[in-house]
A = this chain, B = another copy of it.
Amino acid sequence: MENKLLEAMKFRHAAKEFDTTKSIDEETFNQILEAGRLSPSSFGLEHTKFIVVENPELKEKLQEASYNQKQVTTASQVVIILSRIKDVMSNSVYAKELFESRMPKEASEFLINFHGSFTQNFSEDEISQWSKKQAYISAANMMTMAAYLGADSCPMEGFVESQVQEILGIDPKEYGVAMVLPFGYRNQEPRPKTRHELKEIVEFRK
């Protein structure tokens, strides 16, 4: 039995450089964004926002802030994945309004209290880390969708967060930068994928 999604996951690799003669078209890219949008998040707070950089001068600056990794300027779209900080803190206006807009009063009151107590002892850094973890779920789904549609990506953690925030005019109290995620088409075939075997990383308790 063929499983096209498993094939896509085998096809996916971290492209170190993209083919600059190709661009991901709008219809394909829109489905990649949809994969990010539809992703789950803790309490359904939708922690994640996306800045899509297509502007060549901005890509140049972002590449400098990313240890000059060539993925950034050779990508057709560079997605900067932002993770909410202020919005997802205990008793934030954003959280209250989101819960109230999405469910009946009784359920929203329960979630406002539950989220409030879950996060009330989090430091600002813990809030930021928690939010970034949610962003990684969106990132994973966007990379998987890209591969499913025959496109490529490269998840990047090697960037100076404060520089990326400054380049894009992001208030560091409002949003962290969880990942720099360029998309495009590979310019060469990767070496064969290497992974632990399942039996090395899975343990059953039957």
Shortest distance between the CB of A200 and any CB in chain B (Å): 9
Tell me, rounded to whole Å, the shortest Cβ–Cβ distance linking A163 to chain B.
16
Give which listed residue, B48, B132, B145, B203, contacts A133 with CB less than 8 A.
Answer: B132
> Which residues of A1-37 have CB atoms within 8 Å of chain B's CB atoms?
3-6, 8-10, 12, 14, 30-31, 33-35, 37
Cβ distance A111 to chain B, nearest Cβ, rounded Å:
12
Partner of A38, one of B10, B40, B55: B10
Alpha-carbon distance A118/B67, docked complex (angstroms): 12
**Are A205 and B145 neighbours in the complex by a CB distance under 8 Å?**
no
| A6 close to B31 (CB less than 8 A) | yes
Contact A205 to B52, CB < 8 A, known contacts A141-B144, A193-B38, A195-B37: yes
CA distance A134 to B134 in the complex (A): 11
Query: Known interface pairs A144-B141, A202-B50. Does A6 touch B33 (Cβ–Cβ under 8 Å)?
Result: no
Residue A157 interfacial (CB < 8 Å): yes
Within 8 Å of chain B (Cβ to Cβ): is A139?
yes
Q: Which residues of A (37-63) have their CB < 8 Å from a CB of B?
A: 37-40, 42, 44, 46, 48-55, 58
The reply to whether B40 and A14 form a contact with Cβ atoms under 8 Å apart is yes
Across the A-B interface, give the 8 residue pairs with the lowest CB-CB distance, nearest first: A140-B140, A136-B136, A137-B140, A9-B38, A102-B194, A5-B148, A50-B202, A49-B201
Give the residue name and chain of the B residue nearest to A30 (CB).
B198
Residues of chain B with a CB closer than 8 A to A6's CB: 31, 34-35, 38, 145
Contacts of A10 in B (CB 8 A): 38
